[in-house]
Amino acid sequence: MSEPLHYCRSISSSDHGDGVTSQKMTMEDRQVYVVTGGCGFLGSHLVQMLVERASNLSEIRVFDLHLDTSLESLSTGRVKVRLIGGDISQLDDVRTALRGSHVVIHTASLVDVWGKVPASKVTQVNVTGTENVLRVCEEEGIEYLVYTSSMEVIGPNIHGDPFYRGNEETEYTVYHNQAYPLSKAKAEKIVLEANGRKIKDGKFLHTCALRPTGIYGEGHQLMRMFYNQGLRTGRRVFRMIKPSTEHGRVYVGNVAWMHLLAARQLQDSPSTLGGQVYFCYDHSPYKSYEDFNMEFLSACGFRMIGSRPLVPYFLLYLLALFNVLLQWLFHPFCTYAPILNPYTLAVGSTTFTVQTDKAEKHFGYTPLFSWEESKRRTATWVKSFEEMNKDQ
C-alpha cells in the first residue's frame, strides 16, 4: 500500500498541518456514522476504511437488507461496528437505523442494467429509499449526508456520444431509457436539492454527491463473472470492443477514501461542499473494459484473442436487440437477463473518461492507493479463485 495520507482527525491534542487543532475527545464527543448498503461491495470497503482511518467515531452502523456478520469483527476498543438489518425502501427501517446518528453515507443502491429485477423495484430502492433517508435526516436533525451517485447519471448516453476527459462542468447530452441510470439521476437530484433545507431544532441539512466511474477491486462480482466466463472458453477472452474505446475506472479503496474525506470536510466547510457533485477518480489507466479486465485476468493465464473486434458492431447490436426480444418472450416463465443488451453495448462501446481536480481542491483528496497497489490487490484476489477451483 502507498504511504498513508493523514487526513483523518486524531483524538490526541495535536496540529494536523491543515490548520485544525483537536482537543482530546471523549466517547461523548465522538460521532456515529451510518453507512447504508454497508455490506455491499463499496459499503464494506468503506466501513473498513472508517474503522482504520476515522478516529473521531464511536460507532459505525451498517444498515443493509442482507447482513455480513463478518463486519462485526472490525470493531475495536475505540469504535464499534453495529449491524442493523432493514429495507431502505421502508421508512420505519430507515428511521431505526439513522436515529441518533451524526453523519449518513448513503451507498445503498440496486444496480441492475440487465433486467434481473423489475424496473419498479430499482426505482423503489434507489429513489424511494433516498427519499426515506432525506426524510429521516430532516425529522431527526441529522445535518450531514454524503450520497454515492454514479457516472451513469451522466452517461455514457445510449447515442454513444463520447465523454473524453470531462469534468463536473462539462456539457453532455444526457439521454437514458433504463431504470438504473434514471433512478440514480433522480436520487442525486433530490439529494443535492435538499442541501440547505431547514431540519429539526433549527439546524440545516448539508449534502453532497460522489460519482464513481467504473469501480473495481476485491469483491467485485462482475470480475468474478468475467473470470467464470473465461474458464468456459478455455481462458480465452474474445475481443468485442475497439481497443481505442477508453473508460475511466477507479479502485474501490480510493472511492471509500474519497467518501471518508468528503464526510469530514462537509462538516468543516458545508458552504464549499454543500450541494456539490464530485467525480471519483485515481491513477488507474484509461482502457477499454476488456483490456482493463485483462490487467487482472492475465495473471491467471487468460489471453485476449484478436487485436480488433472479432464481430462487427452492427451484428453485436442485432444480437443485443435479439436478447431484448428473448427477454420479453421469456418474461412470463423465467428471468432472462443476458449481459449484452443495447444499453450495456452502448456503455461498453463509448469512451467515458474524467479529468478533474475538484475533489482535491474542495476536500484535499488524492488517491490513497497507487495504480500499482490497486492492481496488485485486485489481481491477488482474482488469483484466489484458482485455489477455490482446486478445492472444488
Residues belonging to the active site: 180
Q: Which residues contact 359 (CB under 8 A, 6 or more apart)?
A: 258, 261, 262, 278, 279, 280, 281, 365
CB atoms inside a 10 Å sphere around CB 358:
17
Q: From CA 350, how far away is CA 336, in angstroms rounded?
A: 25
Query: Would you put residue 165 in left (φ > 0), alpha (ψ -120 to 50) or beta?
Result: left
Q: From CA 67, how far away is CA 83, in angstroms rounded?
A: 7
The residues pairing with 352 across neighbouring beta strands, listed in sequence order, are 163, 247
Is 379 in contact with 293 (CB distance < 8 Å)?
A: no
CB half-sphere exposure, 292, CA atoms < 13 A:
25
- Which one, of 236, 219, 147, lies nearest residue 385 by Cα? 219
Q: From CA 185, how far away is CA 187, in angstroms rounded?
A: 6
* DSSP letter (8 states) at residue 204: B
- The vertex-181 CA angle with 180 and 185, nearest 5°, equals 120
* DSSP letter (8 states) at residue 202: G
* Complete DSSP assignment for 80-132: EEEEEE--TT-HHHHHHHHTT-SEEEE------SSSSS-HHHHHIIIIIHHHH
